[in-house]
Amino acid sequence: MIYVLNGPNLRRLGTREPDVYGAETFADLTRLCEDTGRELGIEVEVRQTDDEATMIGWLHEAADHRIPVVLNPAAFTHYSYALRDAIAQRTAPLVEVHISNPAAREEFRHTSVVAGVATGTIAGFGLRSYVHALRAVAELVRG
């Protein structure tokens, strides 16, 4: 099992800034992740929340059960020390993922407060960022 956790506004994919995030929807993202999981022989559970407390709860759940995570923290990336602290408690690989390349965007997006406690970060490949992250997590889990 791998959790694919998504933060604020990601359910609005397809309508939210398509010039930045593309025309694909959250349903497309979910399908892509589930298909990639099947290809890798790993169950994938995709979740999205706009609520920081819910996200922290999911990260605690993953830590308690040693569940690897692909995480798109979205806006939480840049300021949520509470999310960072939850990620620091991880007991399995966690890959931070972004659809766009934050370093090529507005200045405030250049800093990730969660990157330092993640296993790694993949960004800038559109929804394919999730495929790369799932493959990386699968390789890490299999050793």
Nearest in space to 134 (alpha carbons), one of 64, 34, 60, 62: 34
Nearest in space to 20 (alpha carbons), one of 132, 122, 127, 133: 127
Question: What pLDDT score does 13 carry?
Answer: 82
Question: What pLDDT score does 21 carry?
Answer: 63
Question: What pLDDT score does 104 carry?
Answer: 62
Q: What are the two backbone dihedrals, phi and then psi, of residue 11, each rounded to the nearest 5 degrees?
A: -65, -15
Question: What pLDDT score does 24 carry?
Answer: 83
Q: Residues marked as binding?
A: 72, 78, 85, 99-100, 109
Going from the first residue of the chain to its last (143 residues), give the mean pLDDT of each consecutive group of 10, the final group possibly shorter: 96 77 86 98 98 98 98 93 97 96 72 94 96 98 90
Q: Which two tokens stand for residue 60?
A: 């605690």
Question: What pLDDT score does 107 carry?
Answer: 82
Question: What pLDDT score does 101 carry?
Answer: 79
Q: Residues marked as binding for substrate?
A: 72, 78, 85, 99-100, 109
What is the pTM assigned to this prediction? 0.92
Q: List beta partners, residue 2.
A: 44
Evaluate whether 93 touches 137 at the Cβ level (below 8 Å). yes
Total of domains in the chain: 1
Nearest in space to 73 (alpha carbons), one of 45, 54, 92, 93: 54
Question: What pLDDT score does 143 carry?
Answer: 82
Burial of 143 from C-beta contacts in 10 A (0-12 / 13-18 / 19+) = exposed
What is the residue range of 15's domain?
2-142
Active site residues: 21, 98
CATH number of the domain bearing residue 27: 3.40.50.9100
**48 SS3 class:** strand
